[in-house]
Structure 1
């Protein structure tokens, strides 16, 4: 079934200064995660941690690396797998005083990595998170005025740039895992580059930029950052035996289970396994299946099966880093969150399905198409590298060598396949009006930028656009930019004061900002529907969500109550935390808090005023037609309105899952929509049925 070849280990560590890519397949990574990350920095004796740091491959190159960075305004650092660059370079810069007393920002594409790396660095520095080392992620700030190393998501640094486009708080910005090319990463490239140029022109202290990436796109990065020199840092990559399947696999989830049990029967205990699957539902299903199957196994090590994905709460994420108990084998089933900065100790085997979930936005129809696609070669190499972090390992690829050869070299940047309305609003809030000429590394197509500008214009966030005029942010647009939300949700919150339903709208928007709060199990569908009926509103999903949160609050967030009512405690509790943060922003915006009580008509009026671009009419054929693009759509089966046929609805999002579905749907009166946007419906030549 399997065909094999080998990856060779890296040579001894060194820093090589070059301006071109010497070839080879280096894997960028975190290094040094030998123990469970902890909130406290006192998990081990300080001397032991010092020894671990000195044992990392990056350590002999420390002085040379600091000297190079000290003299360069920008540098591209290529750190092979296991080199320790993610955890060590920020500490080296701080210890050598390269920051000149100012803070150092270190960005990560994902919250999991930002928090995990921060916790590890705090542990190595024998301090607590929030003192000299801290992190900032969406709706969570673990920093203080004394914090000098600030680990954060790309999006958080972007939000800081809205208030301070020169990023004067920082003397060094480290853009880690830059090759992942999330939408925030790509915008941040341009913003940080502009801040550096601006500080040079105005005589302010130089802003150093350090970009850390895998080798696949290194020339592209170097050219973009004014031909920045490339520093190659070799790492501790052990040999990896790569096994491809002889034939294509039609069911990769099933194949991953079969491959795991093959490993389990042959390999000694405590040689752990990392399995890559595509999403939370797929992972949760695999975890449940494997736990059931492993119960009947005799005379084999016990399986410790753990999920890992971005929505998992921190206390559960930490479990994957803990040492495997004697007589056990740890099996971590993860999304692509485990591809890069976080390193899970004990992994000897990787099972790679060769797939990833990718969302593609169609600017013309407003449709988000979420589908499972093949990984790129760059992603595949990253996954393979996970098997060689601590010793020689094996990677089982659930696809053939021919299929690997057909993969694209790099992932299409998210900036070229997403809705740009939030991006454009953020750029304009930073004072960048000419968004069409913004210095993107890989520019989105003109149609997508114009579609985003048009949406913002219709929402009242920018002034009327013409071919000759530069778009300009309105006072409403500036207020909308203060919220870390999709622009339409920011507008709904701002409008809620007029409708006297601020408290209700904050609840609904908070729930829409987290993963699904409802637990859906196929084998308990009837029981779930029966239990959930007490929350369901004939007005639609948004009021159903409101009813659910009110009930959760009435029992003081009782965990047992959530279990009995098939509510995901973790997600609804996260929504409660998000709500507190949004309420704080409202206070800063001078919004007067109000509640409409049990009469929720004004809530739907407010939703209609913010979601009028997302409205659909019932057609004579029994389906719905969107007003914006005349697309035929249906109500999602999970909706409270699935079996209903209201004349007019608004929805939160459109997704394509076989059919085109509206998610989170509410019934609205057509007259409400005509009142809030008469010119829009006139332009669309639509008269909403009453």
Structure 2
């Protein structure tokens, strides 16, 4: 429940447009640099060698268009499109640092196909660079200026902001996000999420509608951003080659641009880098002398108390790692500095009383507060000082400052017990799962006479700028999601942040006036931080990205020019999963070792894979949607997949209480909501669907009630998540109808619960999609530790996993279950658990099973309904060797199947018209199965043609008879007396 906002919002950004691709262009675009270099003319190679000799290419020195020098740039008349801005907007624009660099930026754009712009948050690059391009005429010839953002909220808000600044309607400056948009045929500037542009590339690989693409917030290194940059690095030269050039601008808030400028596989000619200084007031950095390793939340509490009691007015922003920590610190601060609206009369009185109370408090403590030093730092991250003299000047001494005249009583218990309502603190939480109306509170001015204090996760690091912040308290930690590539286990771990992120946090204190940043760690610890955060693509599964790239006909994903490539192990694991899901063709198993290794990363996509790629969900869920049209289950599959894709749909029931009264109320609410979830889970067959049935019941009940905030709050649902599910259901429904128009599925707000038969079908569909997430309850002989009681074994893990106590199946404990994911907390807990039957495993997951030979009892038989030979086979589940019950399956391929088919053909089971001749056969058809059968010429006469034409089922036989009517006639006649040959010839083929 304490996830970071990147995990919430980056995973599912894609539009609901139909997908297609231009195969030839893609294949050309994904050639390796070495292959393309051989085709370049000698003069181009000379230019490249010259640029290689000097990797740094300043914007004002080396203007190089790909394949052409500046001298070859054709002279064109200058274009200027006037924009009618209001005087207020024009005055505000002049204060932005990026405006001073307009000429440098536009010259670089004109003379280079790709430009990197590096400017801190607040420099104005996001809002102003599109306006520069518009005024320079890049949208005047029918082309669109496209800007991608990693987050939907940024795309929408920036489009409104730029439209307002340019005094243009939203039909001209528009946005397009996953579920909505206002783009029209008149759109000239289009803000969108990176996933939207990726889907557009699938439809039009060359992006012919666009004249410029701007990749914003590239420093966040989201997966979609990395893929876009790799694709655009090939699209830009292709467009230039076709005589319709397109410009690419990459904008980053940090100086980590080496992945773009020094990556020869990405850009053969390094793009110029333009540095834009931020609109930043000096920020003084204070380090702790000691670094708390555990109770950094308590350390943050102490620091905020000191700031509030001793320093001049100004907002406080504290960075913690997760939702639970945020709420815990908010409760402690509210108890220490209670704020009650009833205590306030008038704004002036409040301010006077507050100032007087603070003055008296400081005087009673006999402390001196000196005005904040105005140290002119060029950059807040330059030469930070250890907490010492300057910290004492600021009035915030470190706990270990011996000899200091500051004695604030640093005992946490003492500080909390002495609540002081005379200096109220307006405390607000901020994290990604917080309701939007609650998030909006941080942007409003605090009540008169109070100081604003925002306790936030890293959502406030770059995404949001909170006004009035003067003091930042940084715990130095961040909670990240880590995946084990082998086991697939995901866990959230608190780790040290990166130096660049720490500097971003500090910069939040200098947006409106000089500020201070208090780091709850020493300068030595800061020196050990990594310089930058690792790219997301290196620490998450990539099967969804591999599938999207295969859908673009990029078969050799390992050759793709990623800015930071994922590991080969991650790519191999992704392809193996996609092969097991049927999305990719299986690689050959026979051949030279080198060829086999190469083919593992070169599997082409299947028709099923293309259908799965058209759904904006994970491949496992895409497989479920592709199978969902059976038994009228599709509306339920769509609802379940939407609920599984949108994370954390339920409110956290385990939140700690702040008082006994609150604890009693929370217990009552917890009991009521638990009962409601049991009601949604149902009984009997419904209960076996487990947690997915609870999700389905929650979605159905919420839609039936109109999806209102009150219903969600009363029933423990996150309103934001339920709205997201509603939108995703609509998008998935449209995608399903586009792939399978004959289905005609629609979103039914009054959807009735599934029948027992449909529940069984749903469980089988879930098993087919989550087959690699199968777990079996531990047997008595496997119970090596008493703590393993009620545990489950998975194929890839040695330690057991458990069903969470909040799960609908916690008390049932089925023998076999599939799960959505495994989360590591105090134990390894399975989330999204559903029960499956053991006999289903070989039927729906044959790719994971090792099958024994067909059983002799019952004997193999010919199935007239399917036209195939069936048998019973026992099996074991791969790697772990779980014995599975014998089930009915198609007879395995091989010579024996041809022998059986010949026998059933002779017996008249394949073609009923031949049954009347059975009594006249010269030999018993059963001799086809004897080891000495080849000694009989007639057995070889009928077996040979069947093998050569690969006929081992009725459909294959009928297919051959369409082109060769006399097929098997002479062979069959050898089994009959000569007197009957003429009668057989008349009715051949016997269909």
Range class of TM-score, shorter chain: 0.7 to 0.9
- Aligned to 1:483, the other structure's residue is in SS state coil
1:168 to 199, 208, 213: 208
CA–CA separation in structure 2 for the residues paired with 1:140 and 1:329: 38
Kindly tell me: are residues 92 and 306 of structure 1, through their superposed partners in 2, closer, same or farther at Cα, counting changes over 3 Å? Answer: farther
Per-residue CA deviations over 1:85-133 (Å, capped at 9, x if unaligned) read 12211121112223444122222233343333333323323456x4222
CA–CA separation in structure 2 for the residues paired with 1:493 and 1:436: 28
Structure with larger Rg: 2
Deviates more, 1:177-186 or 1:529-538: 529-538
Aligned to 2:458: 336
CA–CA separation in structure 1 for the residues paired with 2:299 and 2:183: 44
- Aligned to 2:285, the other structure's residue is in SS state strand
Aligned to 1:158: 198
- Alignment length, in residue pairs? 647
CA–CA separation in structure 2 for the residues paired with 1:306 and 1:96: 43
Are the counterparts in 2 of residues 216 and 410 from structure 1 also a CA contact under 8 Å?
Answer: no
Structure 1 runs (4+) deviating above 6 angstroms are: none
Are the counterparts in 1 of residues 333 and 427 from structure 2 also a CA contact under 8 Å?
Answer: no
Q: Tell me, which stretches of 5 or more residues in structure 1 are unaligned?
A: 1-16, 22-44
Deviates more, 1:439-448 or 1:553-562: 553-562
Does structure 1 residue 358 correspond to structure 2 residue 480? yes
CA–CA separation in structure 2 for the residues paired with 1:482 and 1:70: 37
Deviates more, 1:237-246 or 1:208-217: 208-217
Are the counterparts in 2 of residues 681 and 687 from structure 1 also a CA contact under 8 Å?
Answer: no
Superposed displacement of residue 322, structure 1: 3.6
Aligned to 2:572: 450
1:519 to 651, 654, 659: 651
CA–CA separation in structure 2 for the residues paired with 1:248 and 1:459: 48
- Aligned to 1:358, the other structure's residue is in SS state strand
Are the counterparts in 1 of residues 120 and 253 from structure 2 also a CA contact under 8 Å?
Answer: yes
Deviates more, 1:637-646 or 1:118-127: 118-127
CA–CA separation in structure 2 for the residues paired with 1:277 and 1:412: 20
Aligned to 1:305: 428
- Aligned to 1:534, the other structure's residue is in SS state helix
1:111 to 147, 152, 165: 152
Kindly tell me: are residues 340 and 18 of structure 1, through their superposed partners in 2, closer, same or farther at Cα, counting changes over 3 Å? Answer: farther
Aligned to 2:816: 648
Superposed displacement of residue 385, structure 1: 1.3
Aligned to 1:684: 878
CA–CA separation in structure 1 for the residues paired with 2:260 and 2:458: 22
The 5-angstrom pairing of residues 453-602 of structure 1 reads: 453-466=575-588, 467=596, 469=599, 470-522=602-654, 523=663, 524-525=666-667, 526-527=670-671, 528-537=673-682, 538-539=687-688, 540-589=690-739, 590=741, 591-593=743-745, 597-599=754-756, 600-602=759-761
1:608 to 756, 767, 770: 767
Kindly tell me: are residues 392 and 515 of structure 1, through their superposed partners in 2, closer, same or farther at Cα, counting changes over 3 Å? Answer: same
CA–CA separation in structure 2 for the residues paired with 1:424 and 1:403: 38
CA–CA separation in structure 1 for the residues paired with 2:231 and 2:152: 20
Does structure 1 residue 617 correspond to structure 2 residue 785? no
| Between structures 1 and 2, the one with greater strand share | 1
1:242 to 263, 274, 285: 285
Does structure 1 residue 379 correspond to structure 2 residue 422? no
TM-score in terms of structure 1 length: 0.88
Aligned to 2:71: none
1:19 to 57, 64, 76: 57
CA–CA separation in structure 2 for the residues paired with 1:640 and 1:582: 26
CA–CA separation in structure 1 for the residues paired with 2:117 and 2:151: 20
CA–CA separation in structure 1 for the residues paired with 2:204 and 2:439: 33
Per-residue CA deviations over 1:156-181 (Å, capped at 9, x if unaligned) read 22222222222222221112221221
Does structure 1 residue 76 correspond to structure 2 residue 116? yes
CA–CA separation in structure 1 for the residues paired with 2:564 and 2:714: 49
Per-residue CA deviations over 1:486-537 (Å, capped at 9, x if unaligned) read 1111111121102421111111111122231222233435524234332234
Aligned to 1:14: none
Kindly tell me: are residues 285 and 553 of structure 1, through their superposed partners in 2, closer, same or farther at Cα, counting changes over 3 Å? Answer: farther
Deviates more, 1:636-645 or 1:575-584: 636-645
Superposed displacement of residue 592, structure 1: 3.7
2:491 to 329, 351, 369: 369
Does structure 1 residue 120 correspond to structure 2 residue 314? no
Kindly tell me: are residues 637 and 64 of structure 1, through their superposed partners in 2, closer, same or farther at Cα, counting changes over 3 Å? Answer: same
Kindly tell me: are residues 234 and 101 of structure 1, through their superposed partners in 2, closer, same or farther at Cα, counting changes over 3 Å? Answer: farther
Larger relative contact order, structure 1 or 2 (CA cutoff 8 Å, min sep 6): 1
- Aligned to 1:105, the other structure's residue is in SS state strand
The 5-angstrom pairing of residues 35-434 of structure 1 reads: 46-99=86-139, 100-127=141-168, 130-201=170-241, 203-224=242-263, 225=267, 226-249=269-292, 250-269=294-313, 271-287=314-330, 289-291=332-334, 293-295=336-338, 297-300=420-423, 302-303=425-426, 305-309=428-432, 311-312=433-434, 314-324=436-446, 326-340=448-462, 342-434=464-556
Q: Tell me, which stretches of 5 or more residues in structure 2 are unaligned?
A: 1-54, 60-84, 340-419, 589-595, 655-662, 747-751, 784-789, 851-876, 886-991
Per-residue CA deviations over 1:158-215 (Å, capped at 9, x if unaligned) read 22222222222222111222122122222222111121132233x1422211111244
Deviates more, 1:111-120 or 1:101-110: 111-120
Are the counterparts in 2 of residues 177 and 213 from structure 1 also a CA contact under 8 Å?
Answer: yes
Q: CA RMSD in A?
A: 2.5
Superposed displacement of residue 288, structure 1: 5.0
Are the counterparts in 2 of residues 133 and 148 from structure 1 also a CA contact under 8 Å?
Answer: yes
Kindly tell me: are residues 341 and 76 of structure 1, through their superposed partners in 2, closer, same or farther at Cα, counting changes over 3 Å? Answer: farther
Kindly tell me: are residues 340 and 563 of structure 1, through their superposed partners in 2, closer, same or farther at Cα, counting changes over 3 Å? Answer: closer
Are the counterparts in 1 of residues 130 and 189 from structure 2 also a CA contact under 8 Å?
Answer: yes
2:562 to 440, 443, 466: 440
Per-residue CA deviations over 1:7-64 (Å, capped at 9, x if unaligned) read xxxxxxxxxx96379xxxxxxxxxxxxxxxxxxxxxxx93322211122122233233
Kindly tell me: are residues 323 and 369 of structure 1, through their superposed partners in 2, closer, same or farther at Cα, counting changes over 3 Å? Answer: same
Superposed displacement of residue 411, structure 1: 1.2
Deviates more, 1:602-611 or 1:292-301: 292-301
Are the counterparts in 2 of residues 499 and 606 from structure 1 also a CA contact under 8 Å?
Answer: no
Kindly tell me: are residues 302 and 556 of structure 1, through their superposed partners in 2, closer, same or farther at Cα, counting changes over 3 Å? Answer: same
Superposed displacement of residue 436, structure 1: 1.6
- Aligned to 1:349, the other structure's residue is in SS state strand
TM-score in terms of structure 2 length: 0.62
1:636 to 804, 811, 820: 804
- Aligned to 2:181, the other structure's residue is in SS state strand
CA–CA separation in structure 1 for the residues paired with 2:720 and 2:284: 39
Deviates more, 1:616-625 or 1:485-494: 616-625
Kindly tell me: are residues 688 and 580 of structure 1, through their superposed partners in 2, closer, same or farther at Cα, counting changes over 3 Å? Answer: farther
